[in-house]
Amino acid sequence: MTVNIVHVSFGMMDPTTFIEPAAKVSETESIPIAVSCGRADEIKNDILAQHEIINRMLEADFVLIRCQKDPFDDEFFKKIETRLPGCKCVMVFCPTPDVAQLTRKYFNGSDEDFQLLFEYASNRGFDNDVGIIYWLLNHMGLVKGKIPDPKTPRKHGVYHPDFPIDVSLEDYKKHLVAGKPTIGLLFVATYWVYRNLRHIDSFIRRAEENDLNIIPVFFESTSGLTGKETPEIVRNYFTEDGIVIIDTLVMNTPFSQTDSSYEIEFNFYRRVLNVPVINAMLINGEFKDYEAISKGGASKEFAFQSSWAEMDGEIISVPIAQTVKDKSGKRVNIPLDDRIDHLLTLVGNWTDLRRTPRKDKRIAIIMYQSRPDFGAIGSAAGLDGPESAVRILKRLKEEGYTLDHIPEDGKALIEEMLDNVTNNLDWTTSENVAKNSVALIPKTDYAEWYSSIPDFIREKMEEKWGEPMGDVMVEKGKAIIPGVVNGNILITVQPMRSWLDACDSMIHDPELVMPHQYVAFYRWLKEGFGVNAVIHLGTHGTLEWLPGKGGSLSGKCCPDIVLNGIPNIYPFQMDDPGEGLQAKRRSEAVLVGYTCTPMVKADSYGDAAILEGLLQEYLKNKENITGDRKRVLIDRMKELAFKTSMAEDLGWGEDVSDEQVIKDLPELNDRIQEAGNELIRDGLHILGRIPEGTMREEYVNSFTRIGFANRPSLPRALKDSGYTGDEIRLARDLISSFSELGYDYDECISKARGSVPSPTAGLDVIVSYICAQLQDKLDATEEELDAVVEALDGQYVMPGPSGAPTRSGPDILPPGRNYYGLDPATVPSQSAWEVGKKNADIMLEKYRSEKGAYPRHVGLIVWATDTLKTNGEDIGYALWLMGVRPVWTGTTVSGLEVIPISELGRPRIDVSIRITGLFRDVFHNLIELLDDAVSLVSELDEDDENNAIAANYRREVTESIASGLAEDEARRNASIRIFGCPPGAYGSGMNKSIESSDWKDLSDLSKQYSDWGSFAYGRGIEGKQMTKQFKKRFAASEAIVKNMPDKEIGLVDMDDVYGYLGGLTAFVKSSGNEEVSAYVGDTSDSSDIKVRSSSDALKLTFRSQIQNPKFIQGLMRHGYAGANEVSKFTGYLFGWDATSKTMEKWMYDGLAESYLLDPEVYKWMHDENPFAAMNVVKILEEAIAREMWDADDEMKEKLEDIYMDLEGKIEELTDR
C-alpha cells in the first residue's frame, strides 16, 4: 500500500520541501510514500494542473495546505475549498491565530491532533515534516508510536558553512579580521531550516576570496513569524555599542522589511544602519541569460521581487541563485557564480566609496548629449543639466571634494567643455582631439577589457561596428574620452550609440549593441580614471536602454557589461517612474528623484487675449449689443479668429456669414478658455534649487488646482464657500497674497475667509495645508543635492513614491528620494478601473458623435510609466472596452469576469494593444491579464454585432484551419492582441528614422513601426514576431488612442509620444485606412477628462505653450539649456507632422516667427546656443524640402539669411 500525500502552498512557501522527509520515513519504515506538490501561484492559471492536483487531493490519504496569509479571498483556494469535504484527511495551516481558528473546521481529528500538526507546520523544517508524516502513519495504523515532539528551530542566527550550526554571534565575530571591509548578509530562515544553502555557501566563500569580512545572518523575513522584528535583528547583528560594523548590507529575501519606508523615523535601514542596502534576488525557475531570451522568451521572473525591494530603498542588483527541481522533485537553490561575482564587485565598489575620504574620491558627472552637435550637451527631461552640474560641483567643493575651480554658471561649464572635446567631432581637428581629449584609449589597452566580454556580445559588436576600435568616436585607432577633468571630478558626456549619418543600423535593428568606444569609455572610468562613482545627470541617458534582459541581468546583458558594478547615482525626474525603474533594474542605480518643472497657467496672450476680451464683452451683453457696435464687434472678432487660426478650426471660410459667426462664438470662447486654462512649463528645474517668489507661487497654484485625499482644491473650496465669480482667478490672487504674507496661517486664513461669503471647513483645510505642509515640502527641494552627497558618502538614500505632484498630489514630495513604483499585482486599482471606464466611455461617445456608430476595432498605446503613475487606468480602459471587469481580493487583482451586454449597454470592442518594452519587463502579469480577457470574450456565444472580438476570432480560426493550419495554432494566432518590441529591446523606432532623415514617405515609417513593434506577447508567447497578425489587427483600427495622465509630460516633451501614437497613425493610414481617428485622452484631472483628436491636442499645445510668451520667457532664463529645449521640441513637432500630418501652415509659420524671427528671442538663441538655433533652422528647412510646410518665398529667404548668420557664429566659436 502506498501512502499518498498532497502538499499545496499558498504564498512563497515551497511545497517540495516535504519530499525529502517523506523519502526518509519511507526508507526507514519500508512504507511507500508518494508526495504530490503544488504551488498555488504556479497552477492557478493552468486549468489542467488544477484538475490534476484536485483529483490527487480527492484520492490522497492526507492533504496539507500551507498558507502564508489568509487564503479565503484567493480564487484558487475558493475552488479547492469546495472539494475539501470529499478528502480523507485535511490540514489547512496558516500562522495567523485568527485564521487558524477558521481553518480548524477542515481537519476532522481531535483538537490535540490539530494543535500538534499546527506546531509541526509552524516550526517547519526536516524534523517537523518527519513528525507530520509519522503522525499520519500512526493515524492510518501503519506504525505505532514514534511520533516525535515538535522541534522549535532558531528564528535567527549566524550561519557559516565552516562553523558549528549553532555558532554564537560573539564566537563568530572572533573570526572577523580587523580593518577589513565588512558586509552583512541577511537571508530567509527557510533556507537554513531546510539546509537549502548552496547559494549562501557560494556567496560567503566568494566574498571571503574578495578579501571581505562577512556576517551572514538568517532570519524570518515575514511579519508574525519572527521572534525578533527585523530592525532588532539588524541592530543586534550589525551594530556594536551603537556603532555600525558593516559597510554594506546584502538582502537575499523577496519581501519588504519596512513599514512607511519613506518616513525616516520608521525606516530602520536609515535610522539603524545608514549603509547601502543591495538586493540579491533568487530566481524561481531556470535563470536564462540574454542570449537565451533573445531567441525567444521574455524575462519575467523578477518584477514582483524588485518592486518590494524598491519600496525598501534597496539597490536592485542581479540574482545570485536559481531554484530548480532536483531528480526527486525537490526545489534546490543553485548558485549563479558569475552573478555572485558581479554582485560582489558592486558591493566592493560601494564599500570602497563609503571608506574613501571625500578629498580622495574620484567622481564622474556624466551628462547626456542627445544629438552629436554642440547644442545638446546636458539634455535632461525638465532639468537644466549644465546649471545642475555646476550646483553639484559647488556642493562637492563645500563638502571637501578636490576640485581645481568652480565654473561660474552653466554657460561657463559649457564653454569649458566646448574648448575641449565632446561627442561632436565635425568642427574639431585631429590635433585638437589629441590635445584636448581627456584620454585616448589605444587598442592594446582596450583588448584586455574587450576579451572579458562574452562571445555572444563580441560577435554582435563586430557585426555592427567591425573589429576594435570601429569608427565611432575614434581618432587614429584610439577611443576618445571627451570631457573636462576638474581636480578629482570628471565632467563628461555619455558615449553615443551611433553617428546619425551611420544610423541605418539603429533604424533597422532594435537590438543594436553599443560601439567599442562606449565600452572603452566606461571601462576607462574605472581602470584609467579610478572612478569611485558615476552621476548620470538627468532623465535620461542610453546605458539602461542597451540590449539585454529587462531585469535580473545576466553577464551577457549590455548594461551589465558596460557599467560593471560602478556605483551609479542617477538624478531622475519624479514624474517618470517607468523609466526610473528601468535605470534601477538595469543599471543598479540609486535614483535621486528631482521635482518636476514649475507649471503655470497659460493665460491668453496677444491677439487671443484681445479676442477673449471681446468675446466676454459680447457674450455677457449680447442682448444689449446692436447696430454699429454689434457690427464692429463681429468684424473684429472674425478678424482675430482668422489671425489666431481658430477660424479654420471652426470651419469658417472667408465668406462666413454673421449668423454662423454668432452661432460659433460660444465654441470659439471655449477654445480660447481651454488654451488659457492649460498648465504649461515655466522653464526648467535646477537640482536642489528651492523655489522662491513667483515660482513658488506657481508651484502652490499647480499643486492645489485639484483636490487630493481629504483636501479640496483651493478653487473648489472657494466655490463651496459661496464665491460666484472666477474661482480659479481668485485662487491665484489669494496665493499671491499668501506669498506676500509669508504664508503665515493666521493672516492667510483671515485673507481667504474675507474673500468669500460663507467660509467652509474645507477652505480652512486647504489654506492650512498650503501654509504648513506644502511649504515644508517645497523647502525640502534642497534634499535633492543632499541625497547626491549622501549617496557619494556610501550612505543609504531614503526611498519615496513617484509621480506627478499635479496629478498624484504633492504628498509624494519631498524629492531627493530613491523612488519606487507599485506592486504589479494590485494593477489596476479599483479607482483606476473607474477612471479608465469613464475615459473609455468619453472616447466612444466622441467617436460615435463623429462617425455615427461605435468603433469595432480600437488600437491602444499602453506605457509602463503611465500604468505606474495611474495604478493602471489604461488597463481598466482596455478591459472596459472588451466588456470585462477585474476581480479583486483585497487590493490584489485575482481574476476577471465578463460583463453582460445588458450591463455594458453597447457592443464589445476589439482592442489591439501596442505595449512598450518597459511594460513587457515590469508588467508581465498584466500582459497575461489582458490576454486572458481576450480569451474570455473570444469564446462567448454572442452574435457578431455585439462581440467584435468573437466575430473576428471565429472568422480567423475558420480561415486559418481551411488554409492548413493546426486548430490549436489557429486559435492562438486568432487571439493575439498584444504587441511590442522583441525581448531585450525598447522603443518605437520612429525617432531613429525621423532624426536621421532616413525615410522617404509614410510607407517607410509604417514599415519601421511594424519592424520594431510586431512581436507578440501573451500566455506562452514571449516576443514572437508575428508581422501578419500585427498588420491585421492594427490596420483594422477605426480609432487609435494614447492617454496622457498629467501635464508635466506633454505631447512635445519627448519623442516617445509621436513615436508611438504618431507611428501607429502612420502605420494605419499607410495600410489603407485614411479615416482612422487618432485620439489623445487627457486624464490630468480625473474629474474632468478630455478626449481630443491628436490634431486638436497638438494645436492646443501649440497655442497654450509653444507660442506663449510665458513659456518662451521661461526657457530664456536658462540660456544654453533653454535653447536646447527649443531644438528638441521643434524636432518632436516635425515628428508629429511626419507621422500624422498634424502641423498646419500657421503652426510652422508661428514657430519660425516666435523663435527665429522675433529679434529678442533670436538674439538669445544666437548668443547662448547657436548650435541649437541652427538645428531648428535645419528642421524647418527639411519640412519645406519635404513639402510638409508650404512656406512663402519671403520666409524661405529669411531662413536662409538666419542660416548664414548662424553658420558664421558657429565658425567663430569652433575656430578657437
- The enclosing H or E element of 1204 equals helix 1193-1214
Query: Helices in 592-726 by DSSP H: which ranges?
Result: 606-621, 627-643, 646-649, 658-677, 693-703, 714-720
| Per-residue confidence (pLDDT) for residue 301, from 0 to 100 | 54
Q: Do 3-139 and 157-352 show the same overall fold?
A: yes
Q: DSSP assignment, residue 158? A: E
Q: Quick check: helix, strand or coil at residue 697?
A: helix
Which residues, other chains included, contact 959 with Cβ-Cβ below 8 Å and sequence gap of 6+?
Answer: none
Distance CA 905, CA 907 (A): 7
Would you list the domain boundaries of the chain?
3-139, 157-352, 358-599, 609-673, 693-777, 831-1098, 1107-1214
Length of the chain: 1216
| Main-chain phi, psi angles of 450, to 5 degrees | -65, -35
Q: DSSP assignment, residue 378? A: T
Q: Quick check: helix, strand or coil at residue 793?
A: coil
Is the separation of the CB atoms in 774 and 738 below 8 Å? no
Is the separation of the CB atoms in 351 and 246 below 8 Å? no
Distance CA 529, CA 362 (A): 8
Angle between helices 1063-1070 and 1027-1035 (to 10 degrees): 90
- What secondary structure, in 3-state letters, does 807-854 show? HHCHHHCCCCCEECCCCHHHCCCHHHHHHHHHHHHHHHHHHHHHHCCC
Q: In this structure, what is the dihedral angle of CA atoms 368, 370, 375, 378, given to the nearest 10 degrees? A: -20
User: Minimal CA–CA distance to 99: which of 121, 125, 82?
Assistant: 121
- 334 vs 37, 186, 280, 320, 338, CA distance in Å? 20, 18, 14, 9, 12
Which residues, other chains included, contact 373 with Cβ-Cβ below 8 Å and sequence gap of 6+?
Answer: 424, 426, 1171, 1174, 1175
| Per-residue confidence (pLDDT) for residue 1216, from 0 to 100 | 58
**Phi/psi-derived region of residue 413, left when phi > 0, alpha when psi is between -120 and 50, beta in every other case:** alpha
| Main-chain phi, psi angles of 873, to 5 degrees | -60, -40
Distance CA 244, CA 238 (A): 6
Q: Quick check: helix, strand or coil at residue 985?
A: coil
| Per-residue confidence (pLDDT) for residue 225, from 0 to 100 | 39
Distance CA 561, CA 209 (A): 22
Q: Tell me the sheet residues that pair with 915.
A: 862
- The architecture of the domain spanning 157-352 is 3-Layer(aba) Sandwich (3.40)
Pick out the chain residues at pLDDT < 50. 223-227, 298, 501, 503-505, 507
Distance CA 538, CA 378 (A): 8
- The enclosing H or E element of 10 equals strand 3-10
Question: Angle CA(87)–CA(93)–CA(94) in degrees, nearest 5?
Answer: 140
Distance CA 926, CA 333 (A): 28
Which triple of cell numbers denotes residue 687? Answer: 537640482
| Per-residue confidence (pLDDT) for residue 428, from 0 to 100 | 83
Distance CA 84, CA 87 (A): 5
| Per-residue confidence (pLDDT) for residue 226, from 0 to 100 | 39
Report pTM: 0.94
| Per-residue confidence (pLDDT) for residue 227, from 0 to 100 | 38
| Per-residue confidence (pLDDT) for residue 583, from 0 to 100 | 96
Domain 3-139 has what CATH class?
alpha beta
